Structure 1
Amino acid sequence: MGAVLKPLQRGLAFLGSCLLATGVAALECSQPAPDPSRIAVAGGSLAEILYALGEEARIVAVDRTATYPVAARELPQIGYVRNLSAEGLLSLQPTLVLGEHDMGPPAVVDQLSALGLDLLVVPERFDAEGVAAKIRCVAAAVGRAAAGEALVAETLAGAVTAPAAPDAPRGMVLLGLRGGSPVAAGRDTSGSGLLAMAGVRNALEGFEGWKPVSEEAMALAAPAFIVVPERGVADAGGLDALLAHPALRLTPAAQAGRVITMDGMAMLGFGPRTVATAARLRKQLQAAP
C-alpha cells in the first residue's frame, strides 16, 4: 500500500506547491524554458523533435500521438493531445509542459497555466518552414538552439521548393471512414499541407478543414490519387474494403489503383519526418503510370 501511495502523495505535494504560484506561465518560442529537466509532451511531433535532438531523457510523459520512435510508446501516458488528463500530468511533476497548437481541452490548459506551470504551446504551420519553426521553438526551449539549426538543415535538405504546377495531378488525403463516410482534407489542414509540400494539388481545395465527403462531392473532386494513413486503412477493414465504399470506388484513383498508404504521423504530424515523407510521395507519384 505504501508503494502505491507514495507517488500519489508526491503528486499531491507538487500540486499544493503549484497552487501557491500566481499568474500565467506561458512561454514564447524564442526563450529557453526556466527548467526543462522534466518535460510532459502533448503532441507526437514534439516528442519526435526531442528524440531527434537527443533530449529524450528529459521526457517524463507523452500523449497517445507519440508513436515514433518506438521507444516513445513506453513512456507514461497523459491521454490524447486534445483530451489531456490534468491529474495524471501533475502527478508526474513536470517542470515544463510542451504542447502542440491544439492541445486541450481548454479547461485543462487554463488549469495548468493557473497553477503556474511553465507551458509552451508550439505554433503550427502546414508547410516546410512551419516544420523548421517548430524545431527551432523546441530546441530553444531546451537550450539547444545550435543543434536545432543543424536538425532544420537536415530536415529541409530534401524539401520540394516549387509550388504545384497548374497541370499537376489532383489528389486527396483521407483519414479513413467516419460514420460511414470518407473523411478528407480540405484547405488549411495538415493533409492539404502534405500535398502542397509534395508539389501536387488538393482535389478538395474548395472545402475547408477535415470534412466527410459525399458521393456527389467525391465524383466532382475526381482525385487522380488518394493518400491514406495505415491506421485509416486498418480501421476500414483493409484497402479493398475502403476502396469498395460507394463514394470511392468510381474515382479515377480507385479505378487506376493509385492509392498510397503511409505512416499517419509521418504524413500529418509535421515533425522532422513530414518533409521527407512529402518528397517520397512526390517521387512515388512521378514513378506511377
Structure 2
Amino acid sequence: MQRIGVARRLLPSVAIFASLLCLWSPAHANDCKPVADSSRISVAGGSITEILFELGVSERIVGVDRTSNYPAEARELPQLGYVRNLSAEGMLSLAPTLVLGEHDMGPPNVLEQLSRVGVPIVAVPERFDRSGIVAKVRCVGDVVAEADRARAIINALPQAPVPSGAPERGLVILNMEEGAPIAAGADTSGHGFLALAGVENVLDFEGWKPVSAEALAAAKPDIIVITERGLKSAGGIDRLLAHPALASTPAAGSRAVLSLDGMAMLGFGLRTVTAAQELRTYLDEMNSAMQVPVSHDANGRD
C-alpha cells in the first residue's frame, strides 16, 4: 500500500483428457450446498483463494487463476488463466473434483465443457458490501464442508468504518488506458469500496469506463483512490496529478491520493474491509490534521 498526500501449468495428453471424460460422474453443483468431494479444488478468483487459505484447506487447491496472488503461497500453484478467460484443458489436466469461482468466472463455453464431464462447478454470489463478503465466506465454507471455520472467520471480520461527518466525494481509478483514467461507476467493486469507507462516488454512470477531463472537472473529487498497478502505469504521483483529466480537481490540488493493493481493495474478500479502514483513516487524518501534504510509502502488491 502506498499513501500519498496528507494524505504453475500442465499440458494434458489426449489419453488423460479421454480418461477424464469417462471417469467423472455427471453430478455438478451450482449453489452454496456442500459438494460430495472437495479434495481437489480449481479456483477462479482471488477472493475465493484467500478465503480457502483462511479456512485452512489450501492443501486441497490444485490450481488457481491469475488474480489469486494472495497469500504469497498461492502464486506457486499451477495457473489456470484469467478468471474470465479460463482454460478447460488446463483445468481438466489437474483432475479437479470441484471448480469454485467468483460470480463472473468464464468463459461460458469452458464452464459448459467442465460441467459436461461432470465436474461440480460453484459460482459464488457477489455483492459489493460487507454483507456480501460475509455471504461469500459462508458460501465457500458450506461448499467445502467447513461451516464452523467459516463462522469463526465471519465473527472476526472487522466492521465497516463509520465516517465522523458528511461523506467525502471520491473517485476510484483502476488504471490509465490510452491516456484516460478507467474509473468506477455504479454497480462496480470500486463504487462498493467507496461506500464501504463512507465515501460518495462522484461518478453516476454504470460500470468501469474511461472518464474525460470535462467530466472529472465537473465531478470535483476530494480524494482519488487508485490501484498500485494503476499508479505505476500512470508514471507515479506527479504524472498522475498532472494529467489533464485530474489536474483541476480538488484532490489534485491537495494531493489527496491513496494507492492500494488492487485485490485487497476491489476483490471483496477478507482484506477489503481492512482496506476500507485504511481509506477511512487516511481521510480522517486529512480532515483533522489540516497539515502540509507529506508522502508515506509502504510495500505492497497488486
Report the residue type matching 1:100 in the other structure.
Answer: E
Residue number in structure 1 paired with 2:281: 283
Residue number in structure 2 paired with 1:100: 102
Q: 2:28 aligns with which of 6, 25, 29?
A: 25
Per-residue deviation, 1:218: 0.6
Normalised by the length of structure 2, the TM-score is 0.87
Query: In the TM superposition, what are the counterparts of 1:1-289 in structure 2 within 5 Å?
Result: 8=13, 11-17=16-22, 21-22=25-26, 25-29=28-32, 31-155=33-157, 157-160=158-161, 167-204=166-203, 206-288=204-286, 289=290
Question: What's the C-alpha RMSD, in Å, of the aligned pairs?
Answer: 1.9
Per-residue deviation, 1:263: 0.5
- Partners of 2:12 and 2:90 within 8 A in 1: no
- Partners of 1:38 and 1:93 within 8 A in 2: yes
Per-residue deviation, 1:110: 1.6
Per-residue deviation, 1:237: 2.1
Please give the secondary structure, in 1, of the residue aligned with 2:174. strand
Task: Describe the shift of the 1:49–1:6 C-alpha distance in structure 2 as closer, same or farther (beyond 3 A).
Answer: closer
Report the residue type matching 1:151 in the other structure.
Answer: I
Structure 1: runs of 5 or more not aligned: none
Distance 1:6 1:28 in 2: 30
Structure 2: runs of 5 or more not aligned: 1-9, 291-302
1:119-141 residue CA offsets vs partner (Å, 9 max, x unmatched): 00000000000000000011111
- Partners of 2:202 and 2:221 within 8 A in 1: yes
Report the residue type matching 1:171 in the other structure.
Answer: G
- Partners of 1:42 and 1:100 within 8 A in 2: yes
Per-residue deviation, 1:17: 2.0
**Greater percentage in helix:** 1
1:204-243 residue CA offsets vs partner (Å, 9 max, x unmatched): 1x11111110111111111000000101111222222222
Please give the secondary structure, in 2, of the residue aligned with 1:173. strand
Q: Which range moves more in the overlay, 100-109 or 73-82?
A: 100-109
Distance 2:285 2:251 in 1: 15
Task: Describe the shift of the 1:195–1:235 C-alpha distance in structure 2 as closer, same or farther (beyond 3 A).
Answer: same
Distance 1:283 1:163 in 2: 9
Normalised by the length of structure 1, the TM-score is 0.91
Report the residue type matching 1:142 in the other structure.
Answer: V
Per-residue deviation, 1:11: 3.2
- Partners of 1:40 and 1:62 within 8 A in 2: yes
Distance 1:175 1:242 in 2: 13
Per-residue deviation, 1:13: 4.3
Per-residue deviation, 1:256: 0.6
Please give the secondary structure, in 1, of the residue aligned with 2:13. helix
Distance 1:130 1:267 in 2: 14
Task: Describe the shift of the 1:256–1:106 C-alpha distance in structure 2 as closer, same or farther (beyond 3 A).
Answer: same
Per-residue deviation, 1:8: 3.1
- Equivalences, count: 278
Distance 2:121 2:163 in 1: 35
- Partners of 2:11 and 2:90 within 8 A in 1: no
Q: Equivalent pairs: percent with the same residue? A: 56
Please give the secondary structure, in 2, of the residue aligned with 1:184. strand
- Partners of 2:222 and 2:256 within 8 A in 1: yes
Distance 2:209 2:196 in 1: 21
- Partners of 2:160 and 2:277 within 8 A in 1: yes
